[in-house]
Amino acid sequence: MEYVAATVSETVVEPRHLPERILAPLAPSKPDTAPAGAPPGPERRSARLAEELRTVERERIAEALRTTGGVKVRAAELLGMPLRTFTYKCKQYGL
């Protein structure tokens, strides 16, 4: 990134300035209507991030429940989450 910032003569570094090896991880896994080589739009990245966060949160809650033998009060404390929020999320994730 330092190299790109030093070599780009414009005031703003844009995705088109970045090498392909940096853009490749940002490329969508499914074909879409975006031009080739263009990173996915903010909406698509946000949706993928939200789904990833839900997955991680569900796994952590399930792990906390296993660790505490299913005692929700202790599991919520272990995660540093209010019991009411923990209970809501357990219902939301079907735990």
Q: Report the Cα 70 to chain-centroid distance in Å.
A: 27
Q: Report the Cα 77 to chain-centroid distance in Å.
A: 24
What is the per-residue pLDDT across 40-53, written as a single tens digit (0 to 9) for each? 656 666 678 888 88
Q: Looking at residues 41-70, what average pLDDT do you find?
A: 83
Distance CA 61, CA 83 (A): 12
Find, among 88, 57, 85, 87, the residue nearest to 72 by Cα.
87
pTM over 0.75: no
Give all domains of the chain, ordered by start, each with its CATH number: 2-27+40-93 (1.10.10)
Distance CA 27, CA 70 (A): 40
Query: Looking at the predicted structure, is the pLDDT value of residue 12 above 70?
Result: yes
What does the pLDDT read at residue 62?
A: 92
